[in-house]
Amino acid sequence: MSCQSITDNTLHLKSNQRYTEGLSHFKNKNIITFYEVEEILKNAVSSSVELIDYNFHIYSEEKLGFLGKYLCLVLEYKKPCNGEYIKQRFFVKTIPYDIPSQIAYIEDKGAFRKEIEFFKYLMPFLMENFKGDDWAPQCYLTNKNTIVLEDMKLQGFSNRSKIFNEITLKSAIACIARMHSCSLIAEEKLNGRSLNKVYPNACQESEYKPSNRNYKWFVTAIHLAISIAEDLGLDASAILESSHRVFEIGKPSENKCNVISHGDLWSNNILFNSTNCCKLVDFQLIRYAPLAHDVMQLLYLTTTREFREKFEMKMVKYYYKELIESLSINNFQGIVPTFTEVLQGVEEQRFPALVSTTINFPTIMINNKIGAEIMDSENAYEAYFFQDRRPFVNKIMSLDSEYEWRVKEIVRELAEWSLKIDRLPHAT
């Protein structure tokens, strides 16, 4: 296919049925134009190479995330010096036009708009002159409904198990420490202004906000937890009321350092290579929050209760060490957060992290292929997220004993802590 045949700015699709069936809904959406593809090639390779062809296919048959459609963009270009033809692959994230209820939910959350703002404006400012390993993939294009990133698979990065061991966890902790240090360093340049004021669209809360659909999602998830707790013979009387404490999660602290926080640190959003280098993906739920927010989210979403009880303090100390080292390498001249401040934040963020994990565990612990079946069905998606999760969860628990154990473990912990809610600190 020549360049002339795709200058109509429409998406060029493979004729292979496996791909066209999955992509047919994009034909009239113009998610990316020919000229944008040329821009990607210019940014990623060179302005001197010639674009020959490009195509898309589904990135994975498994579910990679829950607020987007994931594609692979393959470009073919010709080098001017020797006429050699080269193919290069990119990761594409776009809106799932084939599932209207997902579109409605994404629009209600504003999550996709946030991530575009993050990559287009905030990320370049955060990374400006930063000394240290990158903590996120390179972005080559954003438009109103699409983000094009480097394909981390080509760099040897991939997900690991849903529950982390100590080595994997420490790699992830070091990564979020670099991200947080970037935030502190960047804010130092703003002469007293905060990042959430300069980039309000990127920092606005998108997960825990009192919109109708979001609140319905929250209640559906908590009712599942109550149902499971009651089946386990636990006192679930305080779960619903106490779980509303999670809505404090998106508020910046008034007396602690706040940083750009990832906010969604489950295993699929954390990639590793063979040398334990780590990078984060999926920035749809970023927040401007205290340092301990991401630390506690990561600990609860990727470790067991037994691990946290044994190693939580060790991991918090490791986070602080990595944060201070990164600030030092970058000659940070601002106010350095104290370890006491981080520890206070850990206690304040503990219960919101527990609630958030209870809400999300039944979803993120699902086998990726089963998850794809639920997410890619209009009726199943609507029923699972906004009506009644129990039939789905019962079926999965009957097939997967590991899943059953993880879900019941976090519900037990929530039931126990909910009865002590009056003694737990609020975020300040």
What order do you get walking across the sheet with 146-150 strand by strand?
A: 50-58, 69-78, 85-94, 146-150, 139-143
Candidate CATH numbers 1.10.540, 3.40.50, 3.90.1200, 3.30.870; the one for domain 103-141+156-423: 3.90.1200
- The pTM score is 0.90
Torsion over CA: 196, 201, 202, 206 (sign):
positive
Q: Does this chain's domain 3-94 share its CATH topology with 103-141+156-423?
A: no
- Partners of 289 in beta bridges: 259
CA-based R_g, the chain, Å: 22
- Partners of 72 in beta bridges: 57, 91
Residuewise pLDDT in 10s, the chain (428 residues): 333 222 233 333 333 333 334 444 444 346 788 899 999 999 999 888 999 999 998 887 666 666 778 899 999 999 888 888 999 999 999 988 777 777 777 777 788 899 999 999 999 999 999 999 999 999 999 998 899 999 999 999 999 999 999 999 999 999 999 999 999 999 999 988 999 999 999 998 888 887 778 899 999 999 999 999 999 999 999 999 999 999 988 789 999 999 999 999 999 999 999 999 999 999 999 999 999 999 999 999 999 999 999 999 999 999 999 999 999 999 999 999 999 999 999 999 999 999 999 999 999 999 877 877 887 788 888 899 999 999 999 999 999 999 999 999 999 999 999 999 999 998 88
Candidate CATH numbers 3.40.50, 1.10.15, 3.10.450, 3.40.1350; the one for domain 3-94: 3.10.450
Place of tokens 């699709």: 13
Domain ranges of the chain: 3-94, 103-141+156-423
In whole angstroms, give the CA distance from residue 363 to residue 359: 8
Torsion over CA: 149, 151, 152, 158 (sign):
positive
